[in-house]
Structures are given as C-alpha cells and as structure tokens.
Structure 1
Amino acid sequence: MNILRLIWESFRFAMQALKSNLTRTILSLLGVTVGIFAIIAVFTLVDSLERNIKDSLTFLGSNVIRVDRFPFSSGPSQYPWWRYFRRPPANYSEYVFLNERLKSASSVTVFASTRTTVKAGSNAYEQANLDGVVQNHKEVYDVPIQEGRFFTQMEINASRNVSIIGVKIANALFPNQNPLGKEFKIKGLKFIVIGILQEEGEGLFDTPSKDEALLVPYGAFNKLFYVGKNGIEPTIAVKGRDDDPGLIALENEMAGLLRAKRGLRPTEENNFALNKSEFIQDAIGSIFAVISIAGWVIGGFSILIGGFGIANIMFVSVKERTGIIGIQKSLGAKNYFILLQFLFEATFLSLIGGMAGLLIVFGTTFVSLGNLEIILSFKNILLGVGLSSAIGIASGIIPASLAAKMDPVDAIRMA
C-alpha cells in the first residue's frame, strides 16, 4: 500500500507543479517533447523507409542465389569493369545441369525477362514485364495467384501459348470482364489467360511489379524473343535450404558445379557471379543503421536540453515544498520515501513531455507521402516511453537526493 500511496502522491504533486506555473512547466517540458519527437520520428521514418524498400525488392527472392555476369557488390578495385562484359551469360543447359546435380538446393529455376506490348482487340498495354519461366519458378519466387492456376509441367514442356497476367494488364486488356480463358497477342502470337496474379499495389521505387507482370512458359518466350540474342539473357536462380545459414554450402557447391560445366581449370578465376538476394538487403540495413545513429545524435541534444528543464522544475519544487518535506520527515517519513516521491514526480513530468512527442509522431503517420507508408511501431513507442522515463530519473535524481537528505528541523525553519 505504501508504494501505491507514494505513486499517487507523486502524481498529485506533479499535477500541482503543472498547474502552479503552467507556462514555465510547458516550456521546460518542451525540450523532452522535441527530443522524443526527433528521435522517434527519425526511427519511425527509417523503419518505414527500410521496410518499403525491402518490400520493393521482393522480386529478388528470399534465401536465393542468382547466377549473373555482374556481382551485386562492386568487386575488387583492380578488376576492370570490361572483364565482366566478357563473361559468358548463363544458359538453359546450365540450368538443367544444376537442377540435376545440386544437393544443397531446395529448388532451381531459370527465367528470361523483357518488356513488351500486349494487345487484345483494340486494347493494349505497353511496357508489360514479360517473364519466360519453368515449372520450378513458383518454388523459388513468390507467385501468388488470385484466380486461375499456374502452368502444368506438360504446358512448360510443350511451350504452350498460355499466360498468367497481373491485375493492371488484366484491367487494361479486359475491362469489366473475367480474363480467364480470354485471348490476347504478344508480337502477333495468341496467348490464353490461365491465371491472374494477386494485386500488389504501387511500390516505393520503379521496381518490377506483379501488377504489370506477364508470365509465359520459357519455351514460348524463346519462340518470341530468342533467348541469348538481342540483349536478352536468362537468369538461373537457386533456392537454398533453411538448414544452410548464409547459404555457404549451396554457394560452394554451385561454384564447383559451374566451374566444371564451363571447363575452368583450377588456376582460372570464376567467369560468373553468385549473387545472394540478402546482400542488397544487408547493405540497405547498414545504410539505415548509420541514419539511425544520426537520429540519436540529433534527438540527443534536444533530450539533454529537456533533461535540464525537468531538473529546473524539480529544484524549484524542492524549494517550494521544503516545509512539507520537514513535516513529513518529522512524522517519520524515511529518506527513501522522500527520494522516491521526487523521482516519481520527475518521471511523471518527463513522461508527459514524452507522450506529447509520441502523439506528434503518431499524427505524422496520417500525412500522405505518396507510396511511402509510415507506421509507428510498438517497438518505437516503447523506446519513447523508456527514454522519457530514463530522462526523468536522470534529471530528478539530484533534486530528490537533496530533498531526502534535508534535516527536518532545518527544513521547517527554512519554510
């Protein structure tokens, strides 16, 4: 019961401090409000931006290694860029070779991509993202189908002219109609719609969107655009296993098999790049970690000023209640009771300023920033509350210690 009484009295005194000189208290708490707002706003913006960027990169897949000519990283500084162009691109036979021999992979796919115009009667959609895929594609990359179905193995093997289309293409070619079973043309060849992808919405950047995607069997794509010519190169992607952290085993096995397939001697360097999808995400995470540190620095100065404001209020509060302190101690109040009373009061005052800062941050989440969705996470709310409490304790510890050490007789005489 003592602790509840202590908390209640501290809360009551904090409210009295607010009411006694409202302008002074608000100005003193403004530093905490601004500091919490600065730090939590930066963290909220950074978290939201990082999440939106990573969501925009879902086309790279998760736990996936790609076979490319160019590495995602810049590579050794002494490695001339033109040597990357001289590397041979991946090809379908290498996909078959890896698919038959890889033991560390859960699935292997190959695909080729380009942009093209599709037509249905008088309707057309330009710059559609056309992908030629194989049966295993849906096991490596997420292919969420809203209506219809994925390709069968027979359709893939026979290079049938069937297609799965995105929502934007479906609405453009077949407005107010069910596209399933309908025909459209790519470069004059008729294709039948067998599936519609789930709507993805606008991404943060101009990255490939499933809403503009157009999937056809790899052989059908090859009939249209002749993979390996006109700048269209296939990409081999391999899905790793969950029991292979970092995909180290898969990467080593892929490198060995590809070197054998391409006939590279032990002294020759790799003429391919094995790119992990997590590399870009990790690089993005590192960039935002630096931005978060900058947020701490910017908000830290504001919080420091806010802490001085809280300390000022508490010193004034101790002076104004010197007589009350003396009476409490003469009636048997322990030093820790006086100490905790003022510490709780400082914490309550700091929390009021912190909650005001959090409310301002929450208000900014309703501001429209285009495709960037801002969300105040529970983690950042806890961080704001925790910081406010810590500032209150740090700011109130010295005034509270002075109050606790007062001699009751001197305190009553000084009142």
Structure 2
Amino acid sequence: MAFRMLCDCFASALASIHAHRLRSFLTSLGIIIGVASVIAVVATVQGLTSTIAASFKGLGSNSLTLRSDTSFEEQLQGKQNRLTLSDLDKVRRSIDGISSITPSFSPVGKFGTTVKAGNKTSYSRVIASTPSYQDAYEAYTEAGRFLNATDEESGRNVCVIGETLRENLLLPKNPVGQYVQVNGNWFKVVGLAEPRGEILGISQDDYMIIPFSVGLGLAGNLASQDVGITFNVDRIEQLEEIQSRVTALLRSAHKLKPGQKNDFKVQTSQQLTDSFTQILSSLTVVLVGIVSISLLVGGVGIMNIMLVSVTERTREIGICKALGAPRSHILTQFLIEAVAISSIGGVLGLILGYGLAFVIGALIPGFPAPDIPLWAIVLSLTFSSAVGVLFGILPAAKAADLNVIDALRYE
C-alpha cells in the first residue's frame, strides 16, 4: 500500500512538472548552474592534479629531492635562502648509501636568459646539470644524444634543447650540429629532448641543458647560486633514515637553532606529489564552497515556486482531503515534486559541468583533460536532492496542513 502511494505521488509530481515545463526548468536553473559550476571546478582541478602527480612519478620511489625553501614572510623581508655548492659537497662526502647525485642550477638567471641562433632570439631557461639528469627527470632525447661524462669532464660547450626553444629559434627539425649563443658563448646542440607539452599554458620544453662544469664557468658569483639536488637511496628501506640524516647535516651546516624552521626541504617523490595535491585540494574546497552558494539560491527558488504551486492547487488539495487523502499523502506528493525538480537540475548540471570542463581545457593551450572523480558526482547529485528536501519541506507541510473547508472555498 505504501509503495503504491509513493508511485501515485511520484506520477502526480511528474505530471505537475510536465504541465509547467518552462516554470520547472527556470526553477531548477539555480541548481543546474550550481552543480555545473561545482563539477567544472572539481574536474578541472582534478585533471591538473593527475598531471602533476604523473610528472613526479619519473623521479622514482627511492629518490629524494633537496631544494631551498624561503617562507613568504622571509620573501617579504627580501631574504632568499639557498643551497650552495658547499652543501652539495657536504651531501656527497658525508651521506652514505646514496647514488646518482644530480645537482642542477641556473647559471645565467633563475628565470631564464636570452638565447640566440642567427638573427632569432628566445628568452629561455638555461639549466646546468650532470649526465644523470636524463634519468632523474626522464629528459630523454628525441634526436641526437644527451650530455655525457666526457662533456662534463672536458667542459665542452654543448647543450640539449627543448622543442619550444627549437621552434622559437627556427632551428631544423633535427637541430643536432646547430649552434646557439648564451651570454656571448657558443654552444653546439647535441640533442633534442622529447616534448613534454604544457601545463596551464606554460611550456615545459622551453629550456636548454648544459654541462654542470660549464655552468660553473658561466656563473658570475658561485656563492649566490641556488643548487637543487636529486639523488637515489641505494636501499629503499633506508629512505626515511637518510632523509633524516640529510636534514640533520644541513641544519648543522646552516647553523639553525633547535626549534628554528628549516630553510630547505628534503622530499620524496610522493611527498612532492602530496604537497601539490594538498595545495590544489585546498583550492578546490574554497572554489567549491564559493560556487555552492548558487545551489542555496536555487533552493530558495524551488521553495518560492513550490509555495506558488500550493496556492494554485489549493482547491485540488481540498478535494483530495475531502475524498480521504491522508496528510502524509499530500506531504509526500509535494515533497517528491520539489526533490524531482532539484534532482533533474542536478543531472542537467552534471552534464553541463562536464562539458564546461572540456571547453575550459580546450581554450587553455596545454591544459590537462578534465577528470571527474566518482565522489564529486555522488556529492553533487546528493546535495542537489538534499536541497530539494530542505527547501521543499515547508511548502509540502503547508499543503498538508490546509484546512479542508477553507481549501474547498478557495477561489
């Protein structure tokens, strides 16, 4: 009996929605926009998170990355923490159980410098590193070769360039053998790196890599250089132990007092991924919280229209009650109608949001494909239905509590 009553209420609610199609659509518009906004934000950020996580997988589970860390407060004070060549030397000499130590730094400008080829110029990053950079960062070559030990030992002016730099300088498809100029020094191109694409419209291929020893010669003041270090732990079970030893070594070298914050970071590839994921997750929560306000606005719209619907159908409600319809029947019918409107809006918003995420990705060059997790779909549909219940209960209760005599007299 209860199941039949639910079916009757559901059929009556759908009939009412169909009879006022335009009004129902406009009522659910707030829900559609709210859910679409939530889905678009989550899909876009999750796609970006997946791309960033994939970019750190190449570091390997047994690798550690060591870099300087300057807090925002210190930056406001004009301070810039650095890892020096002395720190690199201490790690090499004092830490056992590590291998494939890969130092890298920017000898001619942290954010880049002018690179020339013929009459063409490009502002690109110049990275000085060792041959192990290839495996540490998966910088494999598409043409030619990578830097080797002979280049490093003899200090040859050779380089490996990225695809974007090749295009900017209008070099041939295979640029091996061509020459580029940096700070008045000529470098022979020995390799072209495989393209990595873009992230947030920023090219990952606009760079050139030169031997570490050559970079030391280009750098004006070695003491001011900030060196990044990546190395592998020989035995993965010692990862945390070596991480702690490196931290203790550098705290001592930098004369940091107990309780004083580190001016560097020693992180595993997983910790690097988690750091970026945490930042993006916080951003997602804030953005979703902002756009969810439109869901509440949509709920107010549903309550308003349902109150209008109760007023329009007052005589109908009176007749139903006069024929013996229980209060629960009337309450359920109007509540189902409110939930149906909000749920339909949720489904349409889900479709619209997914499409909107793809449009955003298409408009921004190199932006990763959107990724909608299952929890976002379930949460959006559940929340949209909950909005229908929350804002539909008052009109439904008003309809169920109408006096039979007054309802039948209503004009």
Length-normalised TM-score, structure 2: 0.70
Question: Structure 2 vs 1, CA of residues 19 and 321 (structure 1 numbering), >3 Å: closer, same or farther?
Answer: farther
Q: Distance in 1 between matches of 2:297 and 2:234?
A: 46
**Aligned: 1:98 with 2:94:** no
Residue 345 of structure 2: aligned partner: 353
Structure 2 equivalent of residue 256 of structure 1: 248
Tell me how large the CA RMSD over aligned residues is: 5.0
Q: What is the CA deviation profile of residues 197-247 of structure 1, one whole-angstrom value per residue up to 9, with x for unaligned ones? A: 314136346xxx422111122123234445617x54433346789989xx9
Find the aligned partners of 1:104 and 1:291 in 2 and give their Cα distance.
44
2:381 maps to which residue?
A: 385
Q: Deviations over 1:232-287 (max 9, x none)?
A: 4433346789989xx97665422321245x38497897895337656576456545
**Does structure 1 residue 213 correspond to structure 2 residue 213?**
no
Specify whether residues 95 and 135 from structure 1 end up closer, same or farther in structure 2 by C-alpha distance, changes over 3 A only.
Answer: farther
| Partner residue of 1:170 out of 166, 169, 180 | 166
Q: In 2, Cα distance between the equivalents of 1:242 and 1:282?
A: 28
Query: What is the letter of the counterpart of residue 340 of structure 2?
Result: F
In 2, Cα distance between equivalents of 1:67 and 1:317:
70
Q: Which residue of 2 aligns with 1:74?
A: 73
Aligned pairs for 1:171-210 within 5 A: 171-173=167-169, 175=171, 177-179=173-175, 181-186=176-181, 187-201=184-198, 203-204=200-201, 209-210=203-204
Q: Secondary structure at the match of 2:339?
A: helix
How far has the Cα of 1:392 moved from its partner? Answer: 2.3
* Paired residue type of 2:91: L
Q: Secondary structure at the match of 1:74?
A: helix
Specify which of 34, 39, 42 is matched with residue 38 of structure 1: 34
**What CA distance in whole angstroms lies between the structure 2 residues aligned with 1:13 and 1:81?**
68
Q: SS where residue 123 of structure 2 aligns?
A: strand
Deviation, structure 1 residue 112: 1.4
3-state SS in 2 of match to 1:274: strand
Give the aligned residue type for 1:351.
S
Q: Describe the shift of the 1:349–1:18 C-alpha distance in structure 2 as closer, same or farther (beyond 3 A).
A: same
Q: Matched residues in 2 for 1:95 and 1:337: separation?
A: 77
Letter in 2 for 1:389: S
Give the letter for the 1:20 counterpart. Answer: A
CA distance in 2, matches of 1:337, 1:299: 28
For 1:241 and 1:37, locate their aligned partners in 2 and report how far apart those are by CA, in whole Å.
53
Q: TM-score, normalised by structure 1?
A: 0.69
| Contact 2:116–2:180 (Cα < 8 Å) also in 1 | yes
- Conserved 8 A contact 1:106-1:240: yes
Indicate the percent of aligned positions where both proteins have the same amino acid. 19
1:324/1:80 CA distance change after superposition, 3 Å: closer
Q: CA separation of 1:7/1:316 partners in 2, compared to 1, >3 Å: closer, same or farther? A: same
- Tell me if 1:14 matches 2:6: no
